[in-house]
Structure 1
Amino acid sequence: MSNPSRAIALYGTEEEVAPPRVLRAGKLSAELEAGNLRYIRWDGEEVLRAVSFIVRDHDWGTYAPQISGLTVQETEDAFHVSLQAVATGDGESFAYDARIEGRADGTLVFHGRGTTQTGFETNRTGFVILHPIDGVAGAPVTITHTDRRVVEDRFPEIIDPVQPMMDLRALAHTTPGGVAVNVLMEGDTYEMEDQRNWTDASYKTYVRPLALPWPYQIPPDEVVDQTITVTVKGHSQNNAASGAIALQPGAPEGDIPPIGIGLRPEDVATARGATETLKALGPAYMVLHHDPRAGHDCATLKAMLDVAEAIGAAPWLEAVIQSTDDIGTVAEIAALGQMATDLGDPFATVLVSPAPDLKCTLPGSVWPDAPDAAALYARTRDAFPQARIGGGMFSYFTELNRKRPPLEALDLVTFTTSPMVHAGDDRSVMETREAHAAIAASVSGIAAGTPWAVGPSAIGVRDNPYGAAAKENPTNIRQAMNRNDPRQRGLLGAAWALGYIADFASGGASAIALGGATGAFGVVSAPGDDPDPWYEGNGAVYPGFHVLRGLARLRGAPMRPLGLPASGPLAGVAAQTDAGVEIWVANTGPDPVDMSVSSACQVATLDAACFATAANAPDHLDDLVAHDGPLTLDGFAVVRILMKG
């Protein structure tokens, strides 16, 4: 089998992504991307992650507007951008003009002005500003409210479940490097949400308070006119380190938790055809999703159990409870317990969630009817007296943070995540790692000593709490809210999975489940309706398979922290084994990264050069070779290192 293109190896898609244009005016720089600004820097230090004029539909989907008349003018001391854009959908359209001006004195002005001739239904139309979290979380901020009151506050450190700052006109803070940043927001009332709830690496300040009705209608000829003015001052002391990154395992802290995978009835047939490969994967457990609303019954549950048994994984039941009244819930859980009894009581862990909790309830909204949580868990314990009972949310940490379970009724707290709820580009996906530590700390606080588990999580979105469904992806592109995301099959997916496990293992997770066996969230290529370029369903393994297999085999080994920052170019985890210190490291970007190891070692590498070989050799990373000296990791490469001692 010939090697795939580099694009397929790294990203699982041939989709071309235009590089952003870097705008400069003295010490000020910003990246122009799709008519908006990202990575606004002063003196080389990031001061804002993004300033964007966005148009969203009634399901919170963000339009990709048609841009025309784009002009960019640059001099040494200033840059100017102007464009026209139109967002169109469901017979409606919203057109706007945008002007951006950046000056060497540290002033950046972004103005947007738009109207609709048809009337336009939207959940949000206007500016969104993203503040980075690295070095900013917990730091002081000066708030100017719409009535001109000035209040001293701090950015949240533990993740705020709702809006930490409201009724905003301006925000001022100082970066970790000492640069003063002021953001003035005009044209409407703004408020902030903590986007770490969704694993975004930012605080988001957005237009139009959520307490107002949504979706809302922009009438014909009404003018939306907003301006964001950013001013920055000072000299950054935050100089980036250069040279090879040294790997130095620290003293043992905690153990590698069990690694699991998910399984849904729609993937049973292909998973059954890949049982030998999945057995080699060696997951500690398999989360079996059961939802009676989708027609799941005893037969579908038995089929999933057969797969778990065939690969030697402990079955966990993940059961959606569709009844919303207490009488119906009691009967439904009793029937579920009887179903398990008929199958031989195979579940040592049972997770339950009411169906209404699979959808988001935004701040200020009325919670939908659902069974009392404590009663739900008590009835589940009655039906499964020998099982560990888990609950929380089958959706994202966001929902867990907003609707916290009664801990006295639970043995395990659960939730999932996705790295592309709000943005689907490569950098945003990988940057979500910056939020993982805060999520781990926050859920540890919520759980208050009760063990917690995360997953099954994947790059793709298994459910959409904010709309009707996850997006289908027949053209195999990068986009937020994809169900089938191409990067699940690429080296980027493997690097992300390694970082995910490293982050949540060090954060205290008692168990971590990623993706699935086959299908959109899987680790083995199998026949199906979704695009699967180069693999074409031939049974080969995706790069993420090697990461999950390797870390699953380290279960219970003492972890040796590597001290790699989540915002850095490497992600990794190390464990003490009988053979020595085993280290797994991934390059989290597309460009090569140099690193060094303190002593001679043995290594095995997974990168674009050996992609085809690794796809057809599930044990590819078992073959260690002697190495001494620096290591260079190609884009999104993964390396396994064994150090003696």
Structure 2
Amino acid sequence: MDEDLLCSLYGTACPPAPARRIAVGKLSFELVEGNLRGLRVGGVEVIRAVQYLVRDSGWGTMIPQIVDLSVSENASVAEVRYKARCSSPDGARLDYEASIVATGNSLDFSVTACALDDLKTNRLGFCVLHPAALAGAGLTVEHGDGRVERACFPDLIEPSQPFTDIAEMIHEQDGITVICRLSGDSFEMEDQRNWSDASYKTYVRPLAKPWPYVVPAGSVDRQSVSIAVAGQADCPAGGGGEPVELTMGASIGVMPRIGLVLTPEDARAMAIHRAAFSDLGVQDLLLSLAAHRGEGLAELAAFAHGVNDLPQRRTLECVIPGGEDPHAELRDVAAQVADAGLKLDAIAVYPAPDLMSTPPGSAWPPCPALADVYAAARAAFPGLPVGGGTFAYFTELNRKHPPLGSVDFVSHATCPIVHAADDLSVMQSLEAIPAILRSGRAIIGDKPYRLGPVTIAMRHNPYGAAAKANPEGARIPMADEDPRQDGAFAAAWTIGYAAMTGAARLDTLTFGALTGPRGVIGEGGRRPVFEAVKALAALAGAARHACGSSAPQRVVGLAAGGRVIAVNLTAAVQTVRAGSGLLTLEPFAFAEVQDFSALSGCA
């Protein structure tokens, strides 16, 4: 793939990490940067990934430098061996040797690691990812003390670890029995759908233990993951070359309002981009004010100058210090809003102590009661709807529910690169969105649900000091800027995201910002994602129907207002069948299905 095409698709000339497919008997997987993903039996994915990871003290992943990689395959066995070195941000080093041995019905992944220096880390060792599609499926867990627990993969998203002290997990899937054995340390599971990862993650070292911790120089760590499979897949493996069929389903309400976040810098740039903004056609503006960092009158005046004459609904998203007197804090904000002459339609308030994640088992930081915060907002902004929830991600909403009687609407954001940032993981994150919204509805009931901002890049890091700077434009987790925002990838992901929100009855869906690293407008003008947001904004308020896909990993559809938009989620050309017609979609492209009446007949 030439550099121009790479840039048009991914916003960078750096190609995706190469994946080598390895198959032996009925077992197959891909080897990507030393780790295993997509373990399949007869084409059925039974394990999403097995990864050996070293996390730094800010939960960033230390990228291994791999040497002496060797791969051998024959009809009965495949072997992968390599050496690797990781370095922490302060220069501490860890070397390890890895071995993967696969047969037609088993796989063993083992690692021996040695710290060359005192290494500060939050986690060192294996993560095993089970596909999110296993929600509600039976699971047998053998614990370290020999106790056997028969349970299920969580259906609604679990805020805390559903299983701890795990030695072995057994599940059945499409006629296949999968046994996963873990050794070398204490493992537990978390529901990664909290962060929009499409998986359940079983990882080493319980979060109840202190972190970060130091691995002393000279110490040796040995871990292994052993997987055994039995049985044959009940469903045939799809070859991937057949057309993807879209079908229309039942009525599912209306399309939500579409919004953008505006920072004060965006508001100041509004005059330059006024024509483009008008063409975009969004219905909502989320005005973001960091009052806890000293933002106030100047920033509010910038908002007033930039948006007061616009027709969009304006909500002030305000992070307050969250000290002992939220009434005084919000009176100050209200006075500044009045002095700036800013016209508002609603306010959403978040206390700063809740900006940082509080993992299960950890002590919550001092913070005013949320009911008091929302009462203070009502007193300071009489007559305005008051929103709450979390400035951060669904994880934090799931762990700390707002008092519903005190708010008029609830919101949270999502970000797909908290744990992984490769192209496949980011696109697979779309699979988790229906579970997030269903679990969100279980928390907030019928309250208006405002989702967003939704961006690939991370605008806020609840798990460290800040989102990671990304000056080289790489695909890295927790980055404050992602190169794919400049490519067709982000546009496809955006349409795909909206397609996954069907049953949630969202009030508002907010995508990114106007300008900047998460903006729809970049240094070169309108990004491809601009057209994606524009297409969605044109459907706001329209009657919506469920839209099924025979291969949702490749193509999904969104049906609203008598129109159907199909989007290709892959880097390969896809053919779409809609009724009697065929549509060809280029990589990461979206297009309208012309024969809507024929598609309607497929319901």
The residue correspondences of 1:620-635 to structure 2 (distance < 5 A) are 629-635=581-587
Paired with 2:10 and 2:415, the residues of 1 have a C-alpha distance of 17
After superposition, what is the alpha-carbon deviation per residue over 1:311-368, rounded to whole angstroms, capped at 9, x for unaligned?
A: 532211000011321x2x2111011122223344621111000011111111111111
2:126 aligns with 127
Distance change in 2, residues 1:18/1:462 (3 Å): closer
Paired with 1:51 and 1:243, the residues of 2 have a C-alpha distance of 29
Q: 1:586 aligns with which of 561, 567, 572?
A: 567
2:601 aligns with none
2:600 aligns with none
Paired with 1:81 and 1:235, the residues of 2 have a C-alpha distance of 25
Note if 1:545 corresponds to 2:530.
yes
| Deviation at residue 505 of structure 1 after TM alignment | 4.2
Paired with 1:471 and 1:310, the residues of 2 have a C-alpha distance of 36
| Deviation at residue 170 of structure 1 after TM alignment | 0.3
1:207 aligns with 204
Give the secondary structure class of the aligned counterpart of 1:85: strand
| Deviation at residue 403 of structure 1 after TM alignment | 0.8
After superposition, what is the alpha-carbon deviation per residue over 1:19-60, rounded to whole angstroms, capped at 9, x for unaligned?
A: 211112111111111111111111111110111111111111
| Deviation at residue 450 of structure 1 after TM alignment | 1.2
| Deviation at residue 642 of structure 1 after TM alignment | 4.4
Give the secondary structure class of the aligned counterpart of 2:305: helix
Paired with 1:636 and 1:226, the residues of 2 have a C-alpha distance of 39
1:395 aligns with 392
2:321 aligns with 322
| Deviation at residue 243 of structure 1 after TM alignment | 2.7
Note if 1:405 corresponds to 2:402.
yes
Paired with 1:178 and 1:272, the residues of 2 have a C-alpha distance of 61
Note if 1:238 corresponds to 2:235.
yes
Q: 1:560 aligns with which of 530, 540, 545?
A: 545
What do you get for the CA RMSD once the two structures are aligned? 1.7
After superposition, what is the alpha-carbon deviation per residue over 1:376-409, rounded to whole angstroms, capped at 9, x for unaligned?
A: 0011011111111100101000000011111110
1:331 aligns with 328
Distance change in 2, residues 1:435/1:115 (3 Å): same
* Farther-moved stretch of structure 1 (450-459 vs 236-245): 236-245
2:590 aligns with 638
Contact 2:16–2:423 (Cα < 8 Å) also in 1: no
Distance change in 2, residues 1:644/1:445 (3 Å): closer
The residue correspondences of 1:60-139 to structure 2 (distance < 5 A) are 60-89=59-88, 90-104=90-104, 106-134=105-133, 136-139=134-137
Paired with 2:45 and 2:376, the residues of 1 have a C-alpha distance of 51
Note if 1:248 corresponds to 2:247.
yes
Distance change in 2, residues 1:278/1:310 (3 Å): farther
The residue correspondences of 1:5-404 to structure 2 (distance < 5 A) are 5-89=4-88, 90-104=90-104, 106-134=105-133, 136-175=134-173, 177-241=174-238, 243-309=242-308, 311-325=310-324, 327=325, 329-344=326-341, 346-404=343-401
Contact 1:287–1:317 (Cα < 8 Å) also in 2: yes
1:606 aligns with none
| Deviation at residue 552 of structure 1 after TM alignment | 1.0
2:455 aligns with 458
Distance change in 2, residues 1:499/1:18 (3 Å): closer
Give the secondary structure class of the aligned counterpart of 1:521: coil
| Deviation at residue 86 of structure 1 after TM alignment | 1.1
Q: Name the amino acid aligned to 1:454.
A: L
* Farther-moved stretch of structure 1 (408-417 vs 243-252): 243-252
Q: 2:558 aligns with which of 573, 591, 596?
A: 573
Paired with 2:19 and 2:417, the residues of 1 have a C-alpha distance of 19
Paired with 1:515 and 1:345, the residues of 2 have a C-alpha distance of 22
Q: Name the amino acid aligned to 2:153.
A: F
| Deviation at residue 301 of structure 1 after TM alignment | 1.5
Distance change in 2, residues 1:591/1:510 (3 Å): same
Paired with 1:192 and 1:4, the residues of 2 have a C-alpha distance of 40
Give the secondary structure class of the aligned counterpart of 1:559: strand
Give the secondary structure class of the aligned counterpart of 1:519: coil
Contact 1:308–1:314 (Cα < 8 Å) also in 2: no
Contact 2:322–2:353 (Cα < 8 Å) also in 1: no
The residue correspondences of 1:479-494 to structure 2 (distance < 5 A) are 479-494=476-491
| Deviation at residue 512 of structure 1 after TM alignment | 0.5
1:520 aligns with 517
Paired with 1:346 and 1:201, the residues of 2 have a C-alpha distance of 40
Q: TM-score normalised to the size of structure 2?
A: 0.95
Paired with 2:219 and 2:595, the residues of 1 have a C-alpha distance of 66
Distance change in 2, residues 1:487/1:565 (3 Å): farther
Paired with 1:202 and 1:245, the residues of 2 have a C-alpha distance of 24
1:534 aligns with none
Q: Name the amino acid aligned to 2:160.
A: V
Q: TM-score normalised to the size of structure 1?
A: 0.89
The residue correspondences of 1:529-540 to structure 2 (distance < 5 A) are 537-538=523-524, 540=525
Q: Name the amino acid aligned to 1:543.
A: P
Give the secondary structure class of the aligned counterpart of 1:494: helix
1:444 aligns with 441
Paired with 2:51 and 2:596, the residues of 1 have a C-alpha distance of 50
5+ residue gaps, structure 2, are: 598-603
Q: Name the amino acid aligned to 1:143.
A: V
Contact 1:265–1:296 (Cα < 8 Å) also in 2: no
Paired with 1:340 and 1:238, the residues of 2 have a C-alpha distance of 60
Paired with 2:480 and 2:246, the residues of 1 have a C-alpha distance of 36
Aligned length in residues: 593
Note if 1:595 corresponds to 2:565.
no
Q: Name the amino acid aligned to 2:287.
A: L
* Farther-moved stretch of structure 1 (13-22 vs 355-364): 13-22
Give the secondary structure class of the aligned counterpart of 1:191: strand
Contact 1:279–1:310 (Cα < 8 Å) also in 2: no
Contact 1:116–1:219 (Cα < 8 Å) also in 2: yes
Contact 2:301–2:341 (Cα < 8 Å) also in 1: no
* Farther-moved stretch of structure 1 (158-167 vs 19-28): 19-28
* Farther-moved stretch of structure 1 (567-576 vs 200-209): 567-576
Contact 1:523–1:541 (Cα < 8 Å) also in 2: yes
Distance change in 2, residues 1:644/1:565 (3 Å): closer
Paired with 2:503 and 2:101, the residues of 1 have a C-alpha distance of 43
* Farther-moved stretch of structure 1 (228-237 vs 292-301): 292-301
5+ residue gaps, structure 1, are: 526-536, 600-628
Distance change in 2, residues 1:549/1:17 (3 Å): closer
| Deviation at residue 583 of structure 1 after TM alignment | 1.1
| Deviation at residue 142 of structure 1 after TM alignment | 0.4
Contact 1:259–1:283 (Cα < 8 Å) also in 2: yes
Paired with 1:91 and 1:560, the residues of 2 have a C-alpha distance of 54
Contact 1:244–1:595 (Cα < 8 Å) also in 2: yes
Paired with 2:459 and 2:143, the residues of 1 have a C-alpha distance of 39
Paired with 1:4 and 1:55, the residues of 2 have a C-alpha distance of 31
Contact 1:258–1:512 (Cα < 8 Å) also in 2: yes
Paired with 1:58 and 1:644, the residues of 2 have a C-alpha distance of 52
After superposition, what is the alpha-carbon deviation per residue over 1:172-208, rounded to whole angstroms, capped at 9, x for unaligned?
A: 0012x21110000011110000000000000000001
